[in-house]
Amino acid sequence: MLRKLGSFIFETLQVIIFAVSIFLFIYLLVLQPHKIKGQSMFPNFEDGEFLLTDKVSYRFGEAMRGDVVVFQAPGTEQDFIKRIIGLPGDIVMVKDGNVFINNKQLHESYLSDDVKTHPSRFSAEGASATVPSGSFFVLGDNRGNSLDSRSFGFINKNAISGKAWFVYWPPNIAGPVESPLYSL
């Protein structure tokens, strides 16, 4: 009887250790949950939604325009969630309420037609800036209520912790995070 109890406890501990190991592997190296805080990505992501961030994609591939990424904001310990707009080598300009990439207006299908992009500290009206190698220009979808590259400049690729992959809460909107296609 005592031997069976000892065997049961040992097997149970093995299962728990195995499960915790798998969880830690996935959490530290593959996927990580994030909570949307604030309105900077509204209406595409709302305050309080939860999503999974893919931490592997950018180890094997390049970031693309339109990817929604989680990164450590410059000068803070805080994670931000924004959309990549400018890639390394792109010339970015904010003018007349629109975003231009390499002198062509960026048409953003995920935004309503009345959304205007206004300049800020880093991006003066009509002034162009070239995205440095290893960096990105990011914007929130709620352009009137977003602290983004217009305010703090380019973000370094190393600051990105992952790509938004799947919204899992609330369940009624659960699904993959799509990256839009642009015609530039």
Determine whether 82 is an active site residue: yes
* CB proximity list for 117: less than 8 A, separation 6 or greater: 94, 97, 98, 99, 139, 143, 150
- Comparing CA positions, the residue from 178, 182, 122, 177 lying closest to residue 152 is 122
The CA distance from 152 to 166, in Å, is 27
The 3-state DSSP class for residue 170 equals coil
**Choice among 82, 135, 146, 149 that is catalytic:** 82
Q: Where are the alpha helices (DSSP H) in 111-179?
A: 149-152
Determine whether 40 is an active site residue: yes
| Residue type for position 84 | I
> 50 near 137, Cβ under 8 Å?
no
> 117 near 161, Cβ under 8 Å?
no
**Choice among 7, 37, 40, 55 that is catalytic:** 40
Catalytic residue list: 40, 82
